[in-house]
Amino acid sequence: MSPTDTVFVTGLAVHAYHGVMEHEQAVGQTFQLDISLEIDLHEASVSDRITSTVPYDEVVALAEKAFAAKRHRLIETAAGTVADALLSKFPKVTAVRITVHKPHAPIAATFVDVGVSILRTRHG
């Protein structure tokens, strides 16, 4: 039986230098990250111990570091880097969904949002 519980962080603002265009790589921009971690929270819900879950502050710190550590042309790559880092750090997490919103994407159009959402699951 897979867990259906979730720990999440929504709207995490991270300044980084991802993009295909030269000015994106030079100036950077602020991206918004939504992070959703699938984890069995039954033990945490009865024990009230932080060791039974994943600490939000550690999730945020690792996501910020992984997202901004290296410049990528594609936000798909940056999102994958964050997902891989979170799965590596938190063995209780069975799946990670990372959504990257790129509010200042260089598109000659009016839009509300643009971005990517990836799902990575633990193998084995």
Residue 92 annotated among the catalytic residues of the structure = no
Tokens of 40: 């069995």
Candidates 65, 70, 89, 102; catalytic one: 102
Give pairs for 89-93: CB < 8 Å, separation 24+. 89/58, 89/62, 90/37, 90/39, 90/54, 90/59, 92/39, 92/40, 92/53, 92/54, 93/37, 93/38, 93/39, 93/54, 93/122
Nearest to 41 by CA among 5, 1, 89: 5
Phi, psi of 26 (to 5 degrees): -85, -45
Give catalytic residue positions: 102
